[in-house]
Amino acid sequence: MSVRKFLTSDAVHNDRDLELNSQDITKVLIGDQDKTVHFKGLNKEAVGNLFSTRAKIAEAMNIGPSHLVQHISNAISCPKPVKITDKPGFRKNSVPVDLTALPAPKYFPLDGGRYITAGVIIAEWEGNRNVSFHRMMIVGKDTMAVRLVPRHLYTMSELARSKGQELNVAVCIGLRPEVLLAAATSTDYGVDELEIASAMYESSFKKPLEVGRCDNGILVPADTDYVFEGRITLDRMNEGPFVDITGTYDEVRVQPVIAIDKAWTADRPLFHLLLPGGNEHYLLMGLPREPMILRTVRQAVPRTHAVCLTEGGCCWLHGVVSITKNKEGDGMNAIMAAFTGHPSMKQVIIVDEDIDIFDDRQVEWAVATRFQGNRMIRVPDAAGSSLDPSSDGTTWKIGIDATRPLNTGADKFKKAVL
């Protein structure tokens, strides 16, 4: 069963012939990002805006939207084993290797080429498994350039390179939200993200996540739509430009080359299109960071209720945290803890429990009526996000304590209700 099962009843069906080297697909996806778009007018069917709202992600995971952060947090804290099946759905069809035939578009005019944007790479090295998101630029029928930031897959690739070896990988496209979210988590090296995905899946569906084995031994989710078995080679080439999460172009870098050896698909596969800098990109990248912020702030302020990385801040650079103070100063402590939980964040607003942090107007109202400039923390020359175009290597961080005081006079900060 592929991601086709997540097509909602209100999905838009686009039957027009679209040009992969133009921005036709991008224009359709940007039109209404809340709507899932099912592309049929391509050589192969594709889907975009599939998990572009918290509600759609939650529904696919069989939970309520308000439970998302805790659901992810529980899985990170208590991973569960996967179940290996001998007949995974992705192996239904062995197909010729031809990446150029995929419905992967050139999303923006200055992109370095056509990109796979919803691709998750699974690799194993010396007993450790890693599952992570990576953008991949198609450069030939069996060749892609992959962007590796200096984290776990980069580490595995460099360890293999130091021994003159290639790193076996599986590139997966068309995955359940549990796997996508697990692939975007920041965990200790050696933690198996497939087991984090399995914990989320088992919590909702009372059975472990099923996986199947590629010919190179890599385990991948059984119901993946497309699986490409390959190797991160010793070759490198220019990758980019590419529009990243902020909607601005990331720079060209010399990056590793992946060579693809085999390809499989499920029956009637759907190719997942992740709009760069779109709402789905925001959520799948930002949501897994919210449990980290929640955990660190709760260590400083026990009654921490909710965390949100805001869409206006690309679900990466700006956040809001809701707390109930036990004592004055808790708002300031929450600010410092939040930056520890997500070092890429450069602005955080702390609000009281009566503010809906998912309502931008309520958050701004709290800042307007409960905040003065002397309750702001400014942190100069801190390490921030390389995705922030305003950063020159370091960044200024700002924390805003928009909580009402606990002392006499606090009543004047309460909003009137009927």
pLDDT in tens, the chain (418 residues): 679 999 988 899 999 989 999 999 999 999 999 999 999 988 899 999 999 999 999 999 999 999 999 999 999 999 999 999 999 999 999 999 999 999 999 999 999 999 999 999 999 999 999 999 999 999 999 999 999 999 999 999 999 999 999 999 999 999 999 999 999 998 999 999 999 999 999 999 999 999 999 999 999 999 999 999 999 999 999 999 999 999 999 999 999 999 999 999 999 999 999 999 999 999 999 999 999 999 999 999 999 999 999 999 999 999 999 999 999 999 999 999 999 999 999 999 999 999 999 999 999 999 999 999 999 999 999 988 888 899 888 999 999 999 999 886 777 888 888 8
Q: Cβ(202)–Cβ(62) under 8 Å?
A: no
For 275-401, strand residue ranges (E) read 304-309, 318-323, 347-352, 376-382, 395-401
CA distance 252 to 137: 12
Q: Where do the H-state alpha helices sit in 121-242? A: 152-162, 177-183, 193-205
How many other C-beta atoms can be found within 10 angstroms of the C-beta atom of residue 391?
Answer: 16
CA distance 177 to 169: 21
Residues comprising the chain, all counted: 418
Instruction: Give the per-residue pLDDT at 360.
Output: 95
How do beta strands 12-14 and 128-133 pair?
A: unpaired
How many other C-beta atoms can be found within 10 angstroms of the C-beta atom of residue 239?
Answer: 26
Instruction: Give the per-residue pLDDT at 413.
Output: 85
Instruction: Give the per-residue pLDDT at 402.
Output: 97
Helix axes 290-300, 68-77, angle to 10 degrees: 80
Q: Which helix (H) or strand (E) holds 210?
A: strand 210-213
391's tokens: 């950063």
CA distance 249 to 236: 21
Q: How far apart are the first and last CA of the chain?
A: 50
Comparing CA positions, the residue from 228, 133, 229, 139 lying closest to residue 181 is 133
Instruction: Give the per-residue pLDDT at 230.
Output: 98
> By CB neighbour count within 10 A (0-12 exposed, 13-18 middle, 19+ buried), where does 284 fall?
buried
Helix axes 290-300, 330-341, angle to 10 degrees: 140
Diameter of the chain by CA atoms? 73
Comparing CA positions, the residue from 43, 176, 183, 15 lying closest to residue 105 is 43
Prior bond of 380 cis (ω within 30°): no
Instruction: Give the per-residue pLDDT at 408.
Output: 67
CA distances from 51 to 29, 222, 343 (A): 12, 20, 25
- How many whole angstroms from its chain centre is CA 154? 18
Q: Cβ(142)–Cβ(260) under 8 Å?
A: yes
The CA-CA-CA angle for residues 247, 61, 337, to 5°, reads 60
For 45-166, strand residue ranges (E) read 46-48, 83-84, 93-95, 115-116, 120-125, 128-133, 136-140, 143-146
Phi, psi of 353 (to 5 degrees): -65, -20
CA distance 104 to 44: 10
252's tokens: 């060209």
Render the burial of 106-117: b for 16+ CB within 10 Å, e for the rest: bbbeebbbbbbb
What amino acid positions are annotated as catalytic residues? 244
Half-sphere exposure of 342 (CA within 13 A, CB side): 32
Q: What is the pTM of this model?
A: 0.94
The CA-CA-CA angle for residues 139, 183, 212, to 5°, reads 85
